[in-house]
Structures are given as C-alpha cells and as structure tokens.
Chains A and B, each alone.
Chain A
C-alpha cells in the first residue's frame, strides 16, 4: 500500500511540477577563466566605456555591480568568506586603505608611471585617477558671497541648505568630511557636531543626488568630486564650482584585487589595462577625471592642495563613521 502511495505521489510530482522545461543556455556562457566580477562606485559614464574596451580587447566577460564605496566595502566584508567579487574599481584610497585585510596586494608593472604621491607602498590598492573634492553652489540662488572655503560648510547662513551625501555610503563624501576635519582648526567631535547641525538632518545618498539637489534649487551649496561638478556644468545645469581657498585634497581613487577571489589573474590584468596610457588619456579627455599617471598632468587650473593625511583618514574612518551615525540619530544612513 505504501509503495502504491509513493508511486502515485511521484507520478503526480513528475506530471505537475516539472512544467518549466528550461535549462541554462549551454554553450554560450564563458569559461571561468574568461570572467571577471567588478564592484564599482564609479559613475556609469566612467566605468562603462573602459570596461567595454577591456572586454573587447581581452575577450573577458566583466560582470559589474555598482554601489557607493562604503556600501561596497561592507558587502566585501560580508562576503569575505567566499568573495563573489574579484576587483573593487573605484573608491577613495583612504576608504580602501582602511580595510586592507579585504584585499590582496598587487604591484602593477606600470606602477612607475603613477605619480609618486599616488603610489601605495604596500600594494593594497593601485591608483586609477584622482578626484579633488570641490564646492558647488547654485548661481541663480546664490548671487553674492558664494561658499569659497571649507568653513562655509559650518556657516549658519547655509543651515539646512547644504547638500551632502552620507559618508557611510559615499567614499568621496567621506573624503570631503575628512578633508574638512583636517583643514579646519578645532576638535573633530565638535566640528562634526557643528557640521551635522548645519546639515539640519538632510543627508543624501550619492554625489549625483547632491548635484541634482543644488541644480534644482532644493539646496544652495554642496560638496562633491570635481568630475561630477564639471560634468554637470558641461551639461549646462545651474551649478557653479569653487575650489576651497584653504586648498582641497587631491586624493587618488583606487582599484584593488579582492583577497581570495576566483579570477585574480583577470583582476590584475584589468589593473594593468586601466593604467595604460590610452585608457588614462581617454579618462581625462572624456570622463573629466584627473589621471593618476605622471605623464598625463592636467593642464587646466593647477590645484591648490593641502597635504591630505591619508593614513589618518583611513585609520579614523570607522571611528568617524560611528560618530556620524550616533550624531545623525542612529537610523539615518
């Protein structure tokens, strides 16, 4: 009797549930050694042409996942046991340096071409480009006294009118925050509290949201990476750019091979590719990014920079973000 029941049951299962005769498309998927998984915090306009060119030249299939630097670092930390990703493409060097255990050191044969200030001695990350943080404002709404210094971010006149992305999510936003703390005199905790008070609870999620907020007038001023600002200006939006008079930080954004990843060789191949002269030239000409290579110096507007303390920024990252979360009321990002 029991055997009969089992038989009937099996037949029913076979008949009813196997309704989708779908199999994965065999023969089309690339072999393991032709794959690369990249997590990137770059904007699509930056990563897409470079990755497609890499694919076309090498025949490697690149799978891209996007997100903010902080977000991606959290994801890498969560996946540390069995990494899904091979290469972190983008993210401030300070953010990458803060979690060196996630990455496998690699020194590219093209390292000598990189500007000396952008070289990572341990090889944890390799510089790709540099992105100074600049201040933007809406020239329609701000007619006089535009924000021209880091101190403007603490000026009560701009209270509630500042667009700023959460440093927990956005790496460039963290760089901006760290730069402000380094430049301005006073205790970090006090400065952070004053800044958050001036933000008046408005925290955005990405640099492009900051541009949108300033351009559409919902905020007056903001702090974002230079290339985002330049692109917005090139697109003819209501955004004007100012470089802080105290000087800005010129921080490299990096690429890093994920520790224990499945396609490490391809990841290293990508790093070598990204440092090539033609790629870097494309980057500065089409993506408005400052190249990391020494031979491709940006001709326009030499930058006032101060000595950004990268080691301090990466060491303090966890503590500062913790403080940020606590001050911005726990739940907010």
Chain B
C-alpha cells in the first residue's frame, strides 16, 4: 500500500484528497451520532434523578408516618386493654384506630393481630380469614425487633409489623401495616412521567411494587441477575433504562425508575446500519471523485514525465500540447522551448561536423595533385606500349580510371559506371592473380541507369576475391542485380570457402560490429545505412553448396533524365 502510494504522484494526490474528504465526514458523522446518544442519555439520567428523589421523599414520608402511627398504636392503652380483654369489635378502639391512621388510610391498611396471628381489628373492609403464621415470616421478626419491621409481601406489596408489648415486655399482639398495589399507585401517582415505570424492591431486590405488575417477575429477576453478575441493568429485553436509588438504611429498599430507551438495541442497530450505508456511499462517491480529480490534476505532471522519458531515449521532436496558463502550463512551455533549443543545437553541431569533414577531405584531396598522378600513370602507360608490355599499359589505364572515379566530386554514380569501375578493378586483380578466377557480370539493361553510391560495389567484389576465391584454381564470381519490394538488390556471390559463422553474424547484425577484418564491407554497410536509412544496407549468407553471397539493398533511384523508371 505504502509502496503503491509512493510510486506515483497521482496516487499521493488521490490518497491525500480521499483522506481530506472522508476523515471529516466520517468523524463528523460518528461524533454527531455519539453526541446525540450521550445527550439523550444525560437528559434521561437527570430526569431519573429528580423523579427518583421525589418518589423517594414520598415513600420515606409515608414509611416514617407508618412508624409513628404504629408506635402510637402499640403504646395506646386502648389497644392494650382491647387485646387483654380479647373481645370482638370495640367501638373505642376503632375510634382510636381510625383517628390515628387517618393521614395514611388512603395508602395503607392497619391491622391489629393477637399473639396467635389472628387478626382482631382492621382498617380494611373485612377481617382476613386466615391467621398469620406466628412462627414464620413477619411476626417472629417483629417480635425480635424494636420498631416496625418491613417485609416484601408474598405476592408483592409491602407488609410491616410491630410487636405490642405489655407490662414487663410481655407480647400482647402486633400492629401490622400493609400497602398494596393500589396504595402504591396512589402514593406514587403523578410523581413520575407517564412513559416511565416505578419499581420498589426490598433489601434483596425482591418486588414490593411494580407499576406494571404483569411484567414484575421477569423484569425483577433479570435486574437481580444482572446486578449479581455485575452487568449493566438493562432488564429482560434491554428496551428500557433503569436508574436505581437506595432508600434509607433501616428499610434497605431500592427505588428503580424504568425509562423507555430512545436508543434501544434495534433502533441503535438501524441507526448504525443507516450510518454505515451512508458512510459506504460517501466512501464510494469520494473514491470516484478523488480518482477523477487526482487524474485531472496529475495529468500535466504525468505528461511531462513521459515526454522527459522520450527525450532521454533520444526523441527530440516531442512537443507538449497544453493550454494551461498556470505553473504547469509554463513548465510545459519551458520544456517545449528547451527541447526545441536542444534539437536546433544538435542539428547545428551536426552540420558543422559535416562541413568540417568535407573540408578535411578536400584538403586531403588537395594535398596530392591528381593531375600529377594521371600524367604519371599516362607516362607509365605509354612506356608500357613503347616497350611492348601491354599489361603495364592496361594496368595503368585501369588504375587511372579507378583513381579518377575515386576522387571525382560526385557521391553517386549510375550503376553502369560503377560496373565499369568494377570491371577495371577485376582487370587489375586478374593480372595479379594470373587469371585464376573469372568474374561474370549479369546485370539487366534496365538496372544500369540506377544510381548507386560511388565505389559501393567494388569492396564487395574485393571481398569476394580476397576472402573467397583467392586460394582457388578456378574461382568464380558472379555479380547480378534484381529488384524486390521496390528496392534494388545487388548480389555478389563466389564459390569460395564461405564466410565463417561468427563473421556472418556480425555482418548481419549492425549493432554487434567491432573493428577487424572485412572492414570494407562494414564501411559500405555504414555508408548506406547512414544515407538511406536502417532498412537498407548489406546482408551476407553462406550458400548451401559452398561459397557465399553478399547482398546490397539500395533504394531504386534513377538518374534524372526525364525517363520513366523501368521497374
């Protein structure tokens, strides 16, 4: 990844822009979501706190008055004497009972039990039929304690009892207080918002009151398990938020407010899903945009880089097209100017070099006065004639012809003239090798007018003589012309030993050439390639039956005599 980013300017721009586009977007989105959640949670917590405080005040107020009333009743002589007497309904007692319990009778019921657990007096409508078990639960607990003892009722609700003691601490009976579901509804009603629910749990988190009695079992069991396991309080289904507040130490009760959670699990999941989808869309869009944009921005740099590479490979005719007017546009223009300048400079240098070469050649030509050489050769010829040595005359005539051709100013000659020179050369070599080879020239008349570089054929023939037939008794050299693909092919073959494979390879591969033998052939090849281009030049092959063939490929050009080319 890192390597990929660093490998290209465009990738860097791409990643940088992607980050710039995405990071604030995603961060902002996530932050917004989180802030919203936190804000709502904080609101809920604050609401819960105030409501719980209010509910707690109401509850502790009622419980305190219960204690006071129970104490008052337990100490009342009317109650004592009524229990002593053991009779039925006593008017005085009921007067005391009703008067004392007046402030709380909306919420709570007060009963007076005898020591056997039978209910004797009640503020309720009827006396409970079944006696309380005096050996189990609330009553023994009250017997052992000083004040009012609170217990969660077996089926919910709150029960409390206080022992009534006579002289010397003898137990006379019990004052029992019970607050049932309806009492709690009355007590807590209007003190919490309608969407919330209230739970009142005892010291071990058993239900005393739940504003939704049907769910009491599941919810409280779940909360208790969560509390004991040290988990957050989420209830049975996690759709509510629970805030707990412990009440006064002596009761050990816990009030819990259940608030509906705005961001419940499913809502939160939907929210996250939507965020994820939007996020993914944003990522895709950003990817697309930044990819295109990075391409647009990095294109001039990329083009410049490409062009620079071309220049490095030797192509100076490169030109950057740009219509931009900014730094990159100016950079491209500068690049164009620079290559232009460079190319012009190169051409100037080349021309100067050529001029220099030509001057050098002329100077060398001038060093040896050719007329002096012709005259001398002429003299040699006549001396040969006068002394009846025709070979000398012939030799000097041929040599003079070759010399003249060599130093004449023209670069190209007709094939006809070139062949004439070749024949002169063969004449000279025939004398030297004593007619041990024959040279056959088979060039159709239509090719003879073609223009060829001066002295291009002679090195081929020389090669055929020196490296081909020199050591043979009956050497045979053939020279013929043909045309192929519009080019002129001049072939020289011999029946000599052929060309060694290593030399052959070098001859056919211009790049591998080194200085050494066959210098004449290399020169011809180089001159032709330089003059006419890479597709022209020299190729060589060993023939299957022995001997070799060297082929010169030239463009078909005619001497400008207004004739139609014959081929």
Q: Which residues of A contact B (CB under 8 A)?
A: 1-2, 4, 8, 11-12, 14-16, 18-25, 27-30, 35, 49, 52-53, 55-57, 59, 61-63, 278, 281-282, 285
Q: Is A15's CB under 8 angstroms from B204's CB? A: no
Q: Is B234's CB under 8 angstroms from A56's CB? A: no
Inside 8 A of A55's CB, which chain B residues have their CB? Answer: 204, 206
Q: Is B225's CB under 8 angstroms from A63's CB? A: yes
The list of the 6 closest CB pairs from A to B, nearest first, reads: A15-B30, A22-B232, A16-B30, A55-B204, A24-B230, A282-B136
Q: Is B232's CB under 8 angstroms from A24's CB? A: yes
Q: Say yes or no for B292: interface residue by CB 8 A criterion.
A: no
Cβ contacts A to B, 12 pairs, < 8 Å: A15-B27, A15-B33, A19-B268, A22-B234, A24-B226, A24-B230, A24-B231, A27-B246, A28-B244, A49-B154, A52-B206, A282-B136
CB-defined interface of B143-157 with A at 8 Å, one 1/0 digit per residue? 000000001101000
Contact A4 to B231, CB < 8 A, known contacts A15-B30, A52-B206:
no
Q: Is A21's CB under 8 angstroms from B38's CB? A: yes
Q: Is A16's CB under 8 angstroms from B151's CB? A: no
A126–chain B nearest beta-carbon distance, Å: 21
User: Which B residues between 431 and 458 are near A, CB-CB below 8 angstroms?
Assistant: none
Contact of A29 among B26, B228, B272 (CB under 8 A): B228
A2-B2, A21-B37 known, 6 other contacts, Cβ within 8 Å: A8-B26, A16-B34, A18-B34, A25-B233, A29-B228, A278-B136
Contact of A35 among B5, B206, B228, B232 (CB under 8 A): B228
Residue of B nearest to A29 (CB): B227
Q: Say yes or no for B288: interface residue by CB 8 A criterion.
A: no
A197–chain B nearest beta-carbon distance, Å: 42
Q: Say yes or no for B94: interface residue by CB 8 A criterion.
A: no
Q: Say yes or no for B392: interface residue by CB 8 A criterion.
A: no
Contact of B227 among A25, A49, A56, A282 (CB under 8 A): A25
Q: Is B230's CB under 8 angstroms from A1's CB? A: no
Inside 8 A of A14's CB, which chain B residues have their CB? Answer: 34
CA distance A49 to B135 in the complex (A): 13
Inside 8 A of A59's CB, which chain B residues have their CB? Answer: 203-204
A55–chain B nearest beta-carbon distance, Å: 4
Q: Is B137's CB under 8 angstroms from A53's CB? A: yes
B167–chain A nearest beta-carbon distance, Å: 28
CA distance A63 to B5 in the complex (A): 60
Q: Is A61's CB under 8 angstroms from B228's CB? A: yes
A243–chain B nearest beta-carbon distance, Å: 29
Inside 8 A of B30's CB, which chain A residues have their CB? Answer: 11-12, 15-16
CA distance A103 to B141 in the complex (A): 33
Q: Is A16's CB under 8 angstroms from B136's CB? A: no
Q: Say yes or no for B58: interface residue by CB 8 A criterion.
A: no
A1–chain B nearest beta-carbon distance, Å: 7
CA distance A264 to B30 in the complex (A): 49
Contact of B263 among A19, A28, A61, A281 (CB under 8 A): A19
B509–chain A nearest beta-carbon distance, Å: 50
Inside 8 A of A57's CB, which chain B residues have their CB? Answer: 141
Q: Is B135's CB under 8 angstroms from A281's CB? A: yes
Residue of B nearest to A30 (CB): B228
CA distance A193 to B203 in the complex (A): 53
Inside 8 A of B2's CB, which chain A residues have their CB? Answer: 1-2
Residue of A nearest to B28 (CB): A15
Inside 8 A of A18's CB, which chain B residues have their CB? Answer: 34
Q: Is B203's CB under 8 angstroms from A15's CB? A: no
Inside 8 A of B242's CB, which chain A residues have their CB? Answer: 25
Q: Say yes or no for B411: interface residue by CB 8 A criterion.
A: no
Inside 8 A of A62's CB, which chain B residues have their CB? Answer: 204
CA distance A36 to B268 in the complex (A): 36
Contact of A56 among B38, B135, B151, B230 (CB under 8 A): B151
Residue of A nearest to B42 (CB): A21
Inside 8 A of B23's CB, which chain A residues have their CB? Answer: 8
Inside 8 A of B106's CB, which chain A residues have their CB? Answer: none
CA distance A130 to B154 in the complex (A): 25
Q: Is A63's CB under 8 angstroms from B228's CB? A: yes
B99–chain A nearest beta-carbon distance, Å: 32
Inside 8 A of A16's CB, which chain B residues have their CB? Answer: 30, 33-34, 272, 275
Q: Say yes or no for B133: interface residue by CB 8 A criterion.
A: yes
CB-defined interface of B216-235 with A at 8 Å, one 1/0 digit per residue? 00000000111110111110
A4, A20, A35, A55 — most chain B CB neighbours (10 Å): A20
Q: Say yes or no for B254: interface residue by CB 8 A criterion.
A: yes
Q: Is B136's CB under 8 angstroms from A53's CB? A: yes
CA distance A295 to B119 in the complex (A): 29
CA distance A220 to B363 in the complex (A): 140
CA distance A285 to B37 in the complex (A): 55
Inside 8 A of A12's CB, which chain B residues have their CB? Answer: 26-27, 30
Q: Is A21's CB under 8 angstroms from B272's CB? A: no
B219–chain A nearest beta-carbon distance, Å: 14
B30, B268, B272 — most chain A CB neighbours (10 Å): B30
Residue of A nearest to B38 (CB): A21
Inside 8 A of A278's CB, which chain B residues have their CB? Answer: 135-136, 140
B19–chain A nearest beta-carbon distance, Å: 7
B333–chain A nearest beta-carbon distance, Å: 35
CA distance A285 to B23 in the complex (A): 73
Contact of B19 among A4, A20, A24, A281 (CB under 8 A): A4
B152, B225, B228, B242 — most chain A CB neighbours (10 Å): B228
Contact A28 to B133, CB < 8 A, known contacts A8-B27, A12-B27:
no
Q: Say yes or no for B31: interface residue by CB 8 A criterion.
A: yes
Contact of B33 among A19, A25, A61 (CB under 8 A): A19
Q: Say yes or no for B340: interface residue by CB 8 A criterion.
A: no
A21, A49, A282 — most chain B CB neighbours (10 Å): A21
Inside 8 A of A52's CB, which chain B residues have their CB? Answer: 152, 204, 206
CA distance A18 to B234 in the complex (A): 16
Residue of A nearest to B252 (CB): A59
